[in-house]
Structure 1
Amino acid sequence: MNMSPTTSSKRAIALAAVPLALALTLAGCGSPDGGDSPPGMNREEVPGSASPTVETGGEFNDADAMFVAMVIPHHEQEVEMSEAILAKDGIDERVLTIAEQIRDAEEPEIERMESLLDQWEIDDDAEGDDDDDDDGGWMSEGDLEALEAADGSAAERLYLEGLIEGHEAAVEMAQTEMDEGINPDALEVAQGIIDVYTAELATLQELVAEI
Structure 2
Amino acid sequence: MHGVSLATSLAVGAFVLAACGSSPARRDTTMMSGAAPVATASAQSKPAFDEADVMFAQMMIAHHQEAIEMAELATGRATYEETKELAEKIKSGEQPQIETLQGWLKEWGRTTPISEAGNDRPTGIADANVKTLLDSRGPAFDKGFLTMMIDHHEEAIAMARVERKQGQNSKAKKLADRIMKEQQAQVAQMKKLLARIP
The TM-score with structure 2 as length reference comes to 0.70
Q: Hey, what does 2:137 align to over in structure 1? A: 151
1:178-189 to 2 correspondences below 5 Å: 178-189=164-175
**Cα RMSD for the two superposed structures:** 2.8
Could you say which residue in structure 2 is the equivalent of 1:78? 67
Q: Post-superposition shift, 1:95?
A: 0.4
Query: d(CA) in 2 for partners of 1:203 and 1:3?
Result: 20
| Partner Cα separation in structure 2 for residue 121 and residue 208 of structure 1 | 42
Q: Which ranges of structure 1 fall in alignment gaps of 5 or more residues?
A: 16-20, 25-55, 128-137
Match of 1:65 among 38, 54, 58: 54
Question: Equivalences for 1:162-181 in 2 at 5 Å?
Answer: 162-181=148-167
TM-score normalised by the chain length of structure 1: 0.66
Among residues 104, 112, 126, which one is paired with 1:140 in the alignment? Answer: 126
After the TM superposition, which parts of structure 1 deviate over 3 Å for at least 4 consecutive aligned residues?
1-5
Larger Rg: 2
Aligned to 2:76: 87
Q: Which amino acid letter does the alignment assign opposite residue 91 of structure 1?
A: T
Output one character per residue of 1:112-154: Cα deviation in whole Å (capped at 9) or x when no partner. Answer: 1111111111123579xxxxxxxxxx63132223223322111
Distance 1:2 1:168 in 2: 12
1:109 aligns with 2:109: no
Higher helix proportion: 2
Matched residue pairs, number? 159
Higher relative contact order (CA 8 A, sep 6+): 1
Whole-angstrom distance in 1 between the partners of 2:159 and 2:169: 15
Q: CA deviation at 1:108?
A: 2.1
1:40-86 Cα distance to aligned partner (Å, 9 max, x none): xxxxxxxxxxxxxxxx8621111111111111111111111111111
**160 and 126 in structure 1: CA distance in 2 versus 1, 3 angstrom threshold:** closer
Q: Which amino acid aligns with 1:22?
A: F
Does structure 2 conserve the Cα–Cα contact (< 8 Å) formed by 1:174 and 1:193? yes
Report the counterpart of residue 86 of structure 2 in structure 1. 98
Structure 2 match to 1:199: 185
